[in-house]
Chains A and B, each alone.
Chain A
């Protein structure tokens, strides 16, 4: 039946951070975690950066994921801080691979996950408007976010339909499967896009109109704190 697919926050709560701050945080964490070395000040910056998502996971009351991530990150940091420096040979290689996959890729992914779980699409749109992106880009982005769950829904129906057509003697090859799955989804998507544009026009959406918005988006103290922290990390990272 209808499984809900939430790509973005749908509750009435205001986002924990302004979307612009969140995007900045994702960028800074990526830079530090992917590019940082394992010694000196860069190591300390890495420890701080990889713990930022923990704060937001806990703030969103996502304790289970928060704990799992915290322990994983802690493990990676401990390995990088001590074991890697002292071990050698195969063991060293193994430890580098384990801690590296966690520390270099997971934190920014977690931050992006946090961002999506506490931000509403409308908040993102408003903040993109504040960043003076052109309307054409913003409207396309808005439609894109709305389309992801739609395509997932459509896909489920098509898979059902395909299962019904399976017979004992005939098996679909991979290419056939792909064709039979993609064609109806594309046809449906075209239809949805057509109906959606009609709806958009009758709802008064257009390029170069002045829109207002009911969601509150703007910097608060926590945003400034976060920006100062992130900028400090970035500066230290590049200076040293």
Chain B
């Protein structure tokens, strides 16, 4: 079905300093996949797993600039010479970001989009949409505005439009990185159904637990080469110790560990709290909302708020830091009573997509902008201090947008530190991160609490919770 033979691929990219460089993504890579197999590619960021998918769906060489040696055949057709809109009829692709892969404003048109592009008979397409929506339970999603749907629902529509197009091969590029636990569960079910229908599936992923029982083969990549191969049964049995040793996310995800629970229970006494009372917020639709009578958040610690009630958690984060002006409630903090709105003076939120928060031309400007002072000297001092604390002293001249995801996150955190705000809120800081980067985030968070700051982490990443939580609040 898929034959990749001795492929070496080099991207032509521009680095942070603006120089043109060549980055080797794959070295002598070979992969043969038979019909009906589910193959998982995993490994740290930049290991080349997404590149493999791009070879299969034709984005390499048709979209990305680089140098390709070796040949890639899908269904015995050479991908690099075949026009990409023909390859699209055999290979369906689900991307990482649910937001940026749909074309239509309404969901039904989106479901039909792939099949329409193939020039298929409209009556057949409508039939297929009906069929797919019954086996995927899509009825609540039909005829909706794409902009109203949650990330998980958008990803489900993306999968469904491929199911309607009925391509024999499906590739998924980190499909869970923007999904919550519920969204991931939905995706898992879809993949299980595809597996039953004998589709050939290739998945590149960091997060592995949802693939347990689905994968036939697992390849661990490092620096563009296959480091380790295993079959499905071996993969399913990997313990946490083994995956940690391999530098991977856990396969056998556990619940919140007993250790963390024990710590939480022990520490609750004799601590200072930020108390939020009568928190209430109603969504613009007037029906749904969140409300909590009382929420106690201990200060000077890492507090993880977990639970998978869809959008509720991110909304809570926005309410907590006072960005939701319509949210009602009051806060007792440092024996003072303040309305929820005023939390903005004490809180800083690092958003899930940190790109929204970086405005200026250099890291240095970015951090100095946050300092609450007009005196030049103080600005410089405070920003240097913050950079030192977050280990980004070597970056001040660079443009924030040229940094890697993890570095951007740190710049945002440094802004918070420099602004002397004492409460930091992080919304899903580890979505789409591999094992090492997740551990790195945990380390930075611990460092911040050592400096007497309160860190609130809104997350569904149980691995992160077990790594760093002082307290866990389940919603």
Contacts of B372 in A (CB 8 A): 167-170
Known A-B contacts A120-B106, A165-B415, A170-B374; A213 and B88 likewise in contact (beta carbons under 8 Å): no
Known A-B contacts A1-B311, A4-B147, A212-B121; A199 and B101 likewise in contact (beta carbons under 8 Å): yes
Contacts of B360 in A (CB 8 A): 180
Contacts of B125 in A (CB 8 A): 212, 214
B197 adjacent to chain A (CB < 8 Å): no
Contacts of A8 in B (CB 8 A): 105-106
* A21 CB, min distance to chain B CBs, angstroms: 21
What separation, in Å, do the CA atoms of A178 and B91 have in the docked complex?
A: 43
Determine whether the beta carbon of A165 is less than 8 Å from that of B370: yes
Stretch among B2-10, B204-212, B347-355, B454-462 lining the A interface:
B347-355
A97 adjacent to chain B (CB < 8 Å): no
Determine whether the beta carbon of B97 is less than 8 Å from that of A201: no
A5 adjacent to chain B (CB < 8 Å): yes
A197 adjacent to chain B (CB < 8 Å): yes
A157 adjacent to chain B (CB < 8 Å): yes
Determine whether the beta carbon of B351 is less than 8 Å from that of A161: yes
* B413 CB, min distance to chain A CBs, angstroms: 13
* A61 CB, min distance to chain B CBs, angstroms: 16
A68 adjacent to chain B (CB < 8 Å): no
Chain B 107-124 interface 0/1 with A at a Cβ cutoff of 8 Å (1 = within):
111001111111111100
Determine whether the beta carbon of A122 is less than 8 Å from that of B370: no
Known A-B contacts A179-B359, A201-B59; A196 and B101 likewise in contact (beta carbons under 8 Å): yes
Determine whether the beta carbon of A163 is less than 8 Å from that of B57: no
What separation, in Å, do the CA atoms of A188 and B126 have in the docked complex?
A: 35
- CB-contacts of A126-181 with B (<8 A): 142-143, 145-146, 149-150, 153-154, 157-158, 160-170, 179-180
Known A-B contacts A121-B104, A165-B415, A180-B359; A210 and B148 likewise in contact (beta carbons under 8 Å): no
B217 adjacent to chain A (CB < 8 Å): no
Determine whether the beta carbon of B311 is less than 8 Å from that of A12: no
Determine whether the beta carbon of A209 is less than 8 Å from that of B356: no
Known A-B contacts A157-B356, A167-B372; A198 and B143 likewise in contact (beta carbons under 8 Å): no
- Checking B83, B89, B95, B122 against A214 with a beta-carbon cut-off of 8 angstroms, the contacting residue is B122
* B284 CB, min distance to chain A CBs, angstroms: 5
Contacts of B389 in A (CB 8 A): none
- Checking B101, B119, B120, B144 against A195 with a beta-carbon cut-off of 8 angstroms, the contacting residue is B101
- Checking B83, B95, B356, B419 against A198 with a beta-carbon cut-off of 8 angstroms, the contacting residue is B95
A3 adjacent to chain B (CB < 8 Å): yes
Determine whether the beta carbon of A10 is less than 8 Å from that of B116: no
* B173 CB, min distance to chain A CBs, angstroms: 10
Determine whether the beta carbon of B104 is less than 8 Å from that of A146: yes
- Checking A10, A160, A183 against B145 with a beta-carbon cut-off of 8 angstroms, the contacting residue is A10
- CB-contacts of A1-42 with B (<8 A): 1-12
A218 adjacent to chain B (CB < 8 Å): no
B135 adjacent to chain A (CB < 8 Å): no
Residue in B closest to A155 when the chains form the complex, CB atoms: B356
Determine whether the beta carbon of A195 is less than 8 Å from that of B59: no
Known A-B contacts A121-B105, A195-B101; A6 and B145 likewise in contact (beta carbons under 8 Å): yes
Determine whether the beta carbon of A158 is less than 8 Å from that of B356: yes
- CB-contacts of B376-407 with A (<8 A): 401
Determine whether the beta carbon of B147 is less than 8 Å from that of A2: yes
Residue in A closest to B114 when the chains form the complex, CB atoms: A203
Determine whether the beta carbon of B103 is less than 8 Å from that of A12: no
What separation, in Å, do the CA atoms of A202 and B92 have in the docked complex?
A: 7
A89 adjacent to chain B (CB < 8 Å): no
- Checking B85, B100, B148, B401 against A204 with a beta-carbon cut-off of 8 angstroms, the contacting residue is B85
Contacts of B324 in A (CB 8 A): 1
B256 adjacent to chain A (CB < 8 Å): no
Determine whether the beta carbon of A167 is less than 8 Å from that of B143: no
Determine whether the beta carbon of A12 is less than 8 Å from that of B101: no
B444 adjacent to chain A (CB < 8 Å): no
B344 adjacent to chain A (CB < 8 Å): yes
10 cross-chain CB contacts under 8 A: A146-B105, A164-B344, A164-B347, A198-B95, A199-B101, A201-B88, A202-B59, A203-B93, A212-B116, A212-B121
Q: Which 5 A-B pairs have the closest CB atoms?
A: A204-B88, A10-B106, A204-B117, A180-B359, A12-B143
Known: A206-B117, A211-B119. 4 other contacts (CB 8 A): A160-B351, A167-B370, A203-B113, A215-B109
